Structure 1
Amino acid sequence: MSKYSIKEFIEATEVEEQKDEYFQLETPRILEVNLKEMVWAKLGSMVSYTGDIKFERERLLEHGTSRMFKKAFTSEGGTLMKATGEGQLHLADKGKRVTILELNDDIIAVNSNDLLAFEPSIEWDIKMMRRVAGMMSNGLFYVVLQGKGLVAITSHYEPLTLKVQENLPVMTDPTTTVAWSGNLEPNIRTDINYRTFLGRGSGESFQMEFEGNGFVIVQSAEE
């Protein structure tokens, strides 16, 4: 249907009645958080809210000096904001598709650009793939999350999950890699030679290589 009356448009797009789920998808690209206390979310991801909610940018020393130094050297270290209070909060990130994952004592690593929100019960830390430093944005930063609770990640269009098996490694483009199972330690494969510097390379000069048993999630557009 391409044309709506005002009434029809409101009925088709209005917010659903509040449910008990802490995280739920209001649309495929908008996350609704039924906030009762606190949630961590990507800085700048708030679309709208109702109720009494306050927002505070994550402070450098909020999680100790170790994370402070990681965040001081990069603008891509997973900058977060803390939303506290009660109400309905809607989050989104540049129209990217939202996926809700439930961790049950699991560990998952997420590219810092693709982490939208997570429950305060989740433990997390920032990591950097140092071998990528100097090749892209001073390195590839990602966030390792573990414990019990909900995590919301984003992807350009529908995500694709690839199984990683023994003797069958998976290679991905770092700019399209969204997340991977926390037991995997990605390596960097490089294919840089004089043709790369002359601008005659394939454009895929380095890749992430995943070995072992687990999964990796990719998206169809570069970050």
Structure 2
Amino acid sequence: MSTQTFNAQTLPANDNVNPYAFSVDLNGQWFAQKGKMIAYYGQIRFEALSAGPLDQLVAATFHSPLYAQDWIVAQGQGKLLLADRGFDINSFDLDEGNLTIRAGNLLAFEPGLELKQSIIPGFLTLIGTGRFVAASNGPVHFVEPPIRVDPQALLGWADCPSPCHHYDHSYMRGVLGTARMLTGLGGTSGEEHQFDFTGQGTVLMQSSEVVTNQDTLLRDLEGQVGMLGVGGLERLHGTIGQRIAAERQH
């Protein structure tokens, strides 16, 4: 079995090395998620978003405080290699576009794009013109609304309204459905709960129901706890206790 040996000159420029790694031809700055850089050639340094010299760049481009600690800025000249635990890697170009993507799947993006926190927990929105790199569990498929998508298979959506939750009638009816709605016990499958897309635009789906990183959803939930009063916190505490007890019985 023959393999190709790469160096700084033979690595692709802003293209895939293989389905699982991407080579950024860095000449300036890129935002990158921590832990997704696997190697680099050249003179590149990595700075936290809190670094003083980056204040102007961060103020103009990065508007997601919940995720700021997960990101760095790579700056300099060279080849930057990105990967994510053997998942498929793809790059996408936006031209005055608006695309929302699962936060854990977004690996890197050019400063020409502006990043905002989506109203949907666990998702981020990129606005403007530029390139970004994302991971997916299997190939990415592009589909048009109207469509309902399993939450775990949803990678993102472009230029269309945010989705609504859709719950199957069999889930909603009956005593078991009522208990699930009140306590969250029992969970949902993709057949019972989907994201419902309508209007114009494009929906991105991955070829799997396995989410690459659920920490981002937890981060969003933690960020919303501050809006609860004592009564809400006590109710949430009770719900979490019930879920933990149920999981320990499995």
Please name the residue that 1:35 is paired with.
26
Identity of aligned residues (%): 26
Residue 215, structure 1, aligned to residue 212, structure 2? no
CA contact (8 A) 2:30 2:75 kept: yes
Name the residue aligned to 1:17.
Answer: 9
- The Cα offsets for residues 55-75 of structure 1, whole Å up to 9 and x where unpaired, read as 12333984499733xx1xxxx
Tell me how far apart the structure 2 counterparts of residues 110 and 143 of structure 1 sit (CA, whole Å). 5
CA–CA distance in structure 1, aligned partners of residues 34 and 187 of structure 2:
38
Query: Quick one: structure 1 residues 121 and 200, their matched pair in 2 at CA, closer, same or farther if it must change by over 3 Å?
Result: closer
Q: Which runs of 5+ in 1 are unaligned?
A: 130-139
Q: 1:59 to 1:206 in 2, by over 3 A?
A: farther
Q: Which residue of 1 aligns with 2:214?
A: none
What is the rounded CA distance, in whole Å, between the counterparts of 1:53 and 1:200 in structure 2? Answer: 45
Distance 1:145 1:92 in 2: 20
Structure label with greater radius of gyration? 2
Match of 1:159 in 2: 140
- What is the number of equivalent residue pairs in this alignment? 194
TM-score (norm. length: structure 1): 0.75
Question: What is the TM-score with the length of structure 2 in the denominator?
Answer: 0.68
What's the CA shift for 1:79? 2.6
**CA distance, structure 1, for counterparts of residue 196 and residue 135 of structure 2:** 22
1:1-223 maps to which residues of 2 (within 5 A)?
4=1, 8-9=2-3, 12-15=4-7, 17-18=9-10, 21=13, 23-59=14-50, 62-63=58-59, 67-68=64-65, 71=66, 79-129=70-120, 140-164=121-145, 169-191=146-168, 192-193=171-172, 194-195=175-176, 197=180, 199=186, 202=189, 204-221=191-208, 222-223=210-211
1:134 alignment partner in structure 2: none
1:201 deviates by: 6.2
Amino acid in structure 2 at the alignment position of 1:183: C
1:115, distance to aligned residue in structure 2 (A): 0.8
Contact 1:32–1:89 under 8 Å retained in 2: yes
Quick check: which one's strand share is greater?
Answer: 1
- Distance in 2 separating the partners of 1:34 and 1:180: 27
Q: Alpha-carbon deviation of 1:195? A: 3.2
| Alpha-carbon separation, structure 2, partners of 1:56 and 1:24 | 24
Pair 204,20 (structure 1): closer, same or farther in 2 beyond 3 Å: closer
CA contact (8 A) 2:150 2:190 kept: no
Taking the aligned partners of 2:159 and 2:98, their CA distance within structure 1 comes to: 5
Write the letter of the residue equivalent to 1:107: N
Query: Residues of 2 paired with 1:57 and 1:152: CA distance?
Result: 19
Does the 8 A contact of 1:78 with 1:142 survive in 2? no
Please report the RMSD computed on the Cα atoms of aligned residues, expressed in angstroms: 2.8
Equivalent in the alignment of 1:132: none
List per-residue Cα deviations over 1:102-145 (Å, max 9, x = no partner).
1111111111111111111111201132xxxxxxxxxx221111
2: CA distance, partners of 1:63 / 1:210 = 32
Q: Any unmatched runs of 5+ in structure 2? A: 212-250
- Extract structure 1 runs of 4+ deviating beyond 6 A: none
Shift of 1:219: 1.0
CA displacement at 1:160 relative to structure 2: 1.4
| Counterpart contact for 1:171–1:208, Cα < 8 Å | yes
